[in-house]
Amino acid sequence: MSTSRKQLTAKQQEAKSEHWLQSKWRPMMAWQYMVICLFDFMIGPIFWGIAQAVSNNKGVALVQWQPLTLQGAGFYHITMATILGISAWSRGQEKMKSMDKETSAVVKEEEREDKVERVIER
């Protein structure tokens, strides 16, 4: 079996062994943060203005939208940036370690093949 096939089957077995939540939590966190920011900074203010214009006889918005995530000095954004930043960094470290392992396995396999070729040539 070639090295690339061994690596592929090892990755497939690793993917099967992980629970879906364990492997997908980082993208899910990023998506929920994006949805919350879209609501808080775009969708919420638009609907707030429309609701005030419709409910007010003069058609003027009297009260400005207060972003929910900026209350409490923006602590939500600070915590999400920390969580997403650290998780992205740690995932990068995981990928670099797996790349190092794959590279060393490929190098060892190539060295073995070279030795076999030298023995065959003799």
User: pLDDT digit string (tens) for 7-28?
Assistant: 666 566 666 667 777 778 888 9
* pLDDT single digits (tens) 34-92: 999 999 999 999 999 888 888 876 766 678 899 999 998 899 999 999 998 888 888 78
Name which residue leads in pLDDT, 30 or 57.
Answer: 30
Number of folded domains that form the chain? 1
Task: Please give the pLDDT value at position 67.
Answer: 93
DSSP state of 122: -
pLDDT grade for 97, boundaries at 50, 70 and 90: confident
d(CA 62, CA 52): 7
Encoded tokens for 92: 């990068």
Percent of the chain with pLDDT over 70: 79
Nearest to 68 by CA among 43, 101, 95: 43
Cα–Cα separations (whole angstroms), residue 68 to 39, 64, 74: 10, 12, 9
- Structural domain boundaries enclosing 74: 3-121
Q: What is the pTM (predicted TM-score) of this model?
A: 0.61
Q: Please give the pLDDT value at position 92.
A: 81
pLDDT value at 121 more than 80: no
Q: Round to whole Å and give the CA distance between 88 and 82.
A: 10
